[in-house]
Amino acid sequence: FPVENIRNFSIVAHVDHGKSTLADRLLELTGTIDKTKNNKQVLDKLQVERERGITVKAQTASLFHNCEGKQYLLNLIDTPGHVDFSYEVSRSLSACQGVLLVVDANEGIQAQTVANFFLAFEAQLSVIPVINKIDLKNADPERVENQIEKVFDIPSDECIKISAKLGTNVESVLQAVIERIPPPKVHRKNPLRALVFDSTFDQYRGVIANVALFDGVVSKGDKIVSAHTQKTYEVSEVGVLNPNEQPTHKLYAGQVGYLIAGMKNVTEAQIGDTLYLHKQPVEPLPGFKSAKPMVFAGMYPVDQSEYNNLKSAIEKLTLNDSSVTVHRDSSLALGAGWRLGFLGLLHMEVFNQRLEQEYNASVILTTPTVPYKAVLSSSKLIKARRAVQKNMIFIDQNRVMLKYLFPLNEIVVDFYDSLKSLSSGYASFDYEDAGYQTAELVKMDILLNGNTVEELVTVVHKDKAHSIGKAICERLKDSLPRQLFEIAIQAAIGSKIIARETLPIFKNIFQYGGDITRKMKLLKRQAEGKKKLRKIGNVEVPKDAFIKVLKTQ
């Protein structure tokens, strides 16, 4: 394919505005997939994506399209819309020269529409606004056109109005991709320079790297080097994604495709790495800014004998999702495990679900927390800051964009859901890191008969300590078995007790008399149970009790 007939583009949008549906129509229109009634989110390949109806992984498809007698190769990258996966979007854009910015004709510009526009704008990509769902009864494409002109400074006559669901006017989208997005600026005569922008692990074939070729050519049998590890590999297969893998003889600069080169270890195909030909070193491509995790949670195997299997599952999945950070951790109650960092709560849930569905792992995930920096001095006396308004922009008469500075732990757990229900689903939300701020935080201990339970020590805001402490004490009371003495369950800040529950005494079976074999059975069961107990002072705590208190609700 001559470079001038190649277009690399991505579809970006706010969640549910119809990216995946538009991708389906583009695949059909170019004959990449057969036109049947059942083509629904073809590029959403993961089980979790189909169950939740959302895209979490960017996917690539190469489409062939004839226009005015010329054959074009259009490489399409479908990207996720939810704020937690914006890292996937920014990575995908590095392989593109343009984007289709899809906006719902009824909802208009939303938080991720703005965030995605700026990602594309900063990457200097051509932006084609596509107003979707014009078939809806209350669609108001003219209003959305005006919003686009006002907020993004794109003339309203550049908007393409379509219904991805019905296929209305989708050909104009293809036409615009060819006319308005420039071909990639690449040099085929130069030595190979390929960017690894995604990778997956296949049990049988090892690492499959998705690559965008900036310079040169790569063929089966070539010896290539990873700029990151300096290791050399022999290429065993190259091909395009159509949208399934289709081997080809070569991949040329300007193309997007995949490459298999006997990389067995998941650390060998770093996303953002540059591949070049053996003995023809090149300047590595800039790669990617590493993702910054916002939410941390402990992950442990349900059974410690599963530790190694879970370790390898986590390694393989983080290859496919490099935005997750992994550090080894251990807990007296739950054994050896990891502390994982995620971009948000949905990201955490999806990662957990993928581990279970794609790797058959069963894990214990502890309540998520956000990172804090502690300064051990009197500066904590400074008054805590809650949300601080930064600015306000009117998108049109009906919609306003507000910018606030929030403590991360206030937005991480249920903020998005509360916002949605308070605004009856009208408000949308996007966030970026604003750095550390001083706040009145306290370390809260949980005590059992006066002894601290290390696993349950948390950092909370001073104003919320009482309600959180009370909730933990109640949960612990419900999950601890009664024992031969009364147990005081307390939450404390320093030496001050802020919440208390009391677990009453357990009536010993011998007090009731009765059948001796039944008693022996009960005693045996108790003894077995003890193996899984942890002693805190004189109180025995079964592993289940920790799991119930620590686990995500």
Binding site for ligand GTP (CB under 6 A): 13, 15-21, 41, 54-55, 80-81, 132-133, 135-136, 163-165
Minimum gap (Å) between residue 347 Cβ and ligand GTP:
13
Minimum gap (Å) between residue 435 Cβ and ligand GTP:
28
Minimum gap (Å) between residue 13 Cβ and ligand GTP:
5
- What are 209's two structure tokens? 């790297």
Minimum gap (Å) between residue 44 Cβ and ligand GTP:
7
- Shorter beta-carbon distance to ligand GTP: residue 86 or 132: 132
Minimum gap (Å) between residue 164 Cβ and ligand GTP:
4
Nearest of 295, 407, 409 to residue 343 by alpha carbon? 295
- What are 78's two structure tokens? 């479908």
Minimum gap (Å) between residue 94 Cβ and ligand GTP:
20
Is 18 marked as a binding-site residue? yes
* Backbone φ, ψ for residue 45 (5° rounding): -85, -25
Minimum gap (Å) between residue 210 Cβ and ligand GTP:
19
DSSP code, position 282: -
- Shorter beta-carbon distance to ligand GTP: residue 167 or 529: 167
Beta strands 223-226 and 274-277 are: antiparallel
Distance between CA 81 and CA 348 in Å, rounded? 16
Is 364 marked as a binding-site residue? no
Nearest of 542, 339, 333, 551 to residue 454 by alpha carbon? 333
Residues sharing a CB contact under 8 Å with residue 219, sequence separation 6 or more, in sequence order: 235, 238, 249, 250, 251
- Shorter beta-carbon distance to ligand GTP: residue 176 or 186: 176
Is 226 marked as a binding-site residue? no
- Shorter beta-carbon distance to ligand GTP: residue 84 or 222: 84
- Shorter beta-carbon distance to ligand GTP: residue 165 or 188: 165
In whole angstroms, how far apart are CA 469 and each of 363, 407, 444, 474, 543? 26, 20, 8, 9, 20
Q: How many residues does the chain have?
A: 553
Is 206 marked as a binding-site residue? no
Is 80 marked as a binding-site residue? yes
Judge if the upstream peptide bond of residue 301 is cis by omega within 30 degrees of 0: no
Is 368 marked as a binding-site residue? no
Element (H, E) at 310: helix 307-320
Is 20 marked as a binding-site residue? yes
- Shorter beta-carbon distance to ligand GTP: residue 163 or 366: 163
Beta strands 193-202 and 388-396 are: unpaired
**E strand spans, 346-494:** 363-365, 388-396, 399-405, 441-448, 451-452, 458-461, 487-493
Residue type at position 380: K
Query: What angle do helix axes 543-550 and 465-479 make, rounded to 10 degrees?
Result: 150
- Shorter beta-carbon distance to ligand GTP: residue 19 or 193: 19
Residue pair 219/258 in contact by the 8 Å Cβ criterion: no
Burial class (CB in 10 A: 0-12, 13-18, 19+), 122: exposed
Is 461 marked as a binding-site residue? no
The residue written with tokens 């590595």 in the block is 284
- Shorter beta-carbon distance to ligand GTP: residue 50 or 525: 50
- What are 131's two structure tokens? 């107003």
Taking residue 279's Cβ as centre, other Cβ atoms within 10 Å add up to: 9
Query: What's the sign of the alpha-carbon dihedral 513, 515, 520, 525?
Result: negative
Minimum gap (Å) between residue 134 Cβ and ligand GTP:
7
Is 79 marked as a binding-site residue? yes
Is 543 marked as a binding-site residue? no
Is 135 marked as a binding-site residue? yes
Is 132 marked as a binding-site residue? yes
Burial class (CB in 10 A: 0-12, 13-18, 19+), 171: middle
- Shorter beta-carbon distance to ligand GTP: residue 106 or 147: 106
Minimum gap (Å) between residue 23 Cβ and ligand GTP:
7
Is 2 marked as a binding-site residue? no
Minimum gap (Å) between residue 100 Cβ and ligand GTP:
11
CA-derived radius of gyration, the chain: 28
Is 182 marked as a binding-site residue? no
- Shorter beta-carbon distance to ligand GTP: residue 21 or 366: 21
Nearest of 192, 250, 271 to residue 224 by alpha carbon? 192
Is 14 marked as a binding-site residue? yes
- Shorter beta-carbon distance to ligand GTP: residue 59 or 490: 59
- What are 48's two structure tokens? 């979790």
User: Cβ-closest residue to ligand GTP?
Assistant: 81
Minimum gap (Å) between residue 321 Cβ and ligand GTP:
16
- Shorter beta-carbon distance to ligand GTP: residue 162 or 456: 162
Residues sharing a CB contact under 8 Å with residue 540, sequence separation 6 or more, in sequence order: 483, 530, 533, 534
Minimum gap (Å) between residue 26 Cβ and ligand GTP:
12
Binding residues: 13-20, 78-82, 132-135
- List binding-site positions for GTP: 13-20, 78-82, 132-135
